[in-house]
Amino acid sequence: MLPMVRSAAEALAGFTVIVGIPIAKETQLDPATGSLSTWYKFQVLDRLTKRTPAPLAPRLDKLLDWQRPKTLLPVNEDEVVIGKIGGSLVIDGVTVTASELDFPDPLMGHTYLMFISESDDRLAIFEMGAAGVYEVIGDQLSPMGAKKHPVVTEIKNLYQNSLGTLNSGVTSKQ
């Protein structure tokens, strides 16, 4: 279950906030459940905030061998690898796709603002779900989902869905 974050201020204080572009991905099949998950490697263009390592963030030394994003390692200083439910994988010649209806998958080459929970290994999760991911188009932020979430509403009302305005607001409070 996702944590209930009630305001943009709470989200900015509680999560690492980055701007990045997905540059690679690796989809995995859970051998026990048959479910799909995908690791996305992001090139980090900007870190608006950096928080202490999050307890829920994945750590390489805690992952089972099949869970490790082997093709995305190593993770450089200017990168982060973020796990997400769903993805597409060819199994026995058939493409199997699983997705979260209210949280579309990031598109390669697109730019995103993301509220993440990150470990020292630079592995992370979207702990806020879709409410913590925005596509960046020019200076404008377009929420990936959950448009009625209080954080999405506040980013629209307080920061006019502007990356520059949000960044200025974050910088002035640090």
DSSP secondary structure letters along 64-87: -GGGS-GGG-S--TTEEEEEEE-E
Q: Tokens representing 11?
A: 């989200």
Q: Tokens representing 66?
A: 């099949």
**Domain map (residue ranges) of the chain:** 8-168
| Candidates 3.40.50.300, 2.120.10.70, 2.40.50.120, 3.90.1150.10; CATH matching 8-168 | 2.40.50.120
pLDDT recorded at residue 1: 45
By C-alpha distance, which of 62, 79, 77, 65 is closest to 25? 79
Model-level pTM?
A: 0.94
pLDDT at 150 over 90: yes
Cα(134)–Cα(89) distance, rounded to whole angstroms?
25
pLDDT recorded at residue 171: 74
Tens digit of each residue's pLDDT (9 = 90 or more) over 65-123: 999 999 999 999 999 999 999 999 999 999 999 999 889 999 999 999 999 999 999 99
Cα(41)–Cα(23) distance, rounded to whole angstroms?
6
Assess contact for 45 and 111: CB atoms under 8 A: yes
Q: Name the burial class of residue 60, with classes exposed (0-12), middle (13-18) and buried (19+) by CB atoms within 10 angstroms of its CB.
A: middle
Residue 18 makes CB contacts below 8 A (sequence gap 6+) with 42, 44, 45, 46, 47, 48, 80, 113, 114, 116
pLDDT at 2 over 60: no
Tens digit of each residue's pLDDT (9 = 90 or more) over 160-172: 999 999 999 887 6
Tens digit of each residue's pLDDT (9 = 90 or more) over 16-61: 999 999 999 999 999 999 999 999 999 999 999 999 998 889 999 9
Assess contact for 135 and 108: CB atoms under 8 A: no
